Amino acid sequence: MIALGGTIGTGIFLGTGPAIHTAGPGGVLLAYSVIGIMVYFVMTSLGELASFMPTSGSISTYATRFIDPALGFAFGWNYWFAWAMTLAAELSASALIMKYWFPDSSSLLWSGLFLMLLFFLNFLSVKGFGEGEYWFSFIKVATIIIFIVVGTLMIFGIMNGQPVGFKNFTTGEAPFVGGTLGTLSILLIAGFSFSGTECIGVAAGESENPTKNVPRAVRTVFWRILLFYVLAIIVISFLVPYTNGSLQNSTVMASPFTIVFEKAGFALAASAMNAVILTSVLSAGNGCLYVTSRIMYAMAQEGQAPRFLAKVNKRGVPVIALVATAIIGMLAFLASIFGDGTIYIWLMHSVGITTFIFWLGIAASHYRFRKAYVAQGYSLKDLPYRAKWFPFGPIFAFALCLVILLGQNFEGFISGHIDWKNVLAAYIGLPLFLLLWLSYKFIKKTKVIPLEECMFDFKEQQNK
């Protein structure tokens, strides 16, 4: 369920509307399909790594073992930063969502209450996180399935009127609004929608029988991409024209899901979608606390973070690491000072680029892992899960991530009207990553590990 519902959130419920308005139905389908293919290859790479060597350190540990300890350090702290900021962003979003029902309530109140709820879910035990994530994911998955079924019935005229035809694909500039630039401009939005897929790599360190369950989870990625993103966007594109002005706004009333359900005649569609979006936000926040605490714990064990962060309680929960991330989550409270929505949007942009940084790291780590595994004379037949299309998969994912990383905010540079505030928000993750990488490399004098010297933890793999 973590693999199935982990990435379904505000990106698809709220982000698809502005994306369709910007790039049209064809542009959105193309962008999401390209990113979906890339994420599939990222996940097959992660599946091979995590099923062979399950660890809570995930990308940090793999980069340290198979590329360069300096890169492992940079990936780990960059990953922690991204998820800590995402926690703050999701808590800010939760306050906005509650204001739909309670417009005069305090953002501070809701952000604080939800932070406490998520903290105690993770504090109790890893089962608390797992149980919470299961039910959050269940609600999201059920909503998507209902939406696709209802939308399909409406498209064929079985429900609420005549068949809609292809008029929304031929209206105005459709299907590709803004041409190539329009499609390229929403690749980051598509990437943000898929962020979190790699969480199963972190969860593998505490999952039951990861050598079997991680590959099973990875195999669902392709079908999730096909079902939850591509089919949902096709339904939206048939039923909601890109010219609909409401799509410009990232609010529950302007959500394509709300618009379609209202067209279907569902009473209280907006309230129902608001509740679903709230579960999505809480699910993301729940995952944020889990991932950040585990990555901190793993890095502390590797000597790349303060040792006290590796302390766990009797239930195996790294409490100090959990508290540290929760404190960062309190940044969400700034929403009540600077205006609701402002800090959420800024944080979302600042986090967007970091997703591609650690996807790039997963692809590079897998490429080096496979090369080292073969170079040291081990048989590929002994791998619990073997990624298909190697080496094309990791190379394609690496190259596309790199292009998107370097092409941030290109519209502003092309037009000549550069909004430096937006440029800073878009690129802030990149200089942070480079600073961490080069500083650690300079201080520790690390080098790229030769393939013949990469270490494989066969003992840990056998025990798991």
Spatial separation of the C-alpha atoms in residues 408 and 412, rounded to whole Å: 9
Residue 6: per-residue pLDDT: 63
Question: In whole angstroms, how far apart are CA 327 and each of 115, 293, 332, 355, 402?
Answer: 10, 12, 10, 22, 32
Q: Where are the domains of the chain?
A: 2-456
Say if residues 18 and 248 touch (Cβ distance below 8 Å).
Answer: yes
Residue 411: per-residue pLDDT: 63
Residue 89: per-residue pLDDT: 75
Look up tokens 């999401």; give the residue. 32
Residue type, 53: M
Say if residues 387 and 393 touch (Cβ distance below 8 Å).
Answer: yes
Angle at 76 between CA 71 and CA 81, to 5 degrees: 125
pLDDT tens string 53-105: 888 777 888 999 999 999 999 998 888 888 887 787 777 778 878 888 888 88
| Residue from 79, 83, 38 nearest 58 by CA | 79
Residues of the chain with pLDDT under 50: 336, 459-464
Spatial separation of the C-alpha atoms in residues 437 and 429, rounded to whole Å: 12
pLDDT tens string 328-363: 777 655 654 565 555 655 655 666 678 888 899 999
| Token pair listed for 141 | 């998955």
pLDDT tens string 406-450: 776 666 666 666 667 667 766 777 888 899 999 999 999 999 999
**C-alpha count within 13 angstroms, C-beta hemisphere, residue 171:** 17
Question: In whole angstroms, how far apart are CA 319 and each of 83, 142, 199, 309?
Answer: 17, 33, 19, 8
| Token pair listed for 17 | 């509307």
**C-alpha count within 13 angstroms, C-beta hemisphere, residue 435:** 7
Burial of 201 (0-12, 13-18, 19+ CB in 10 A): buried
CATH class of 2-456: mainly alpha
In eight-state DSSP terms, residue 263 is H
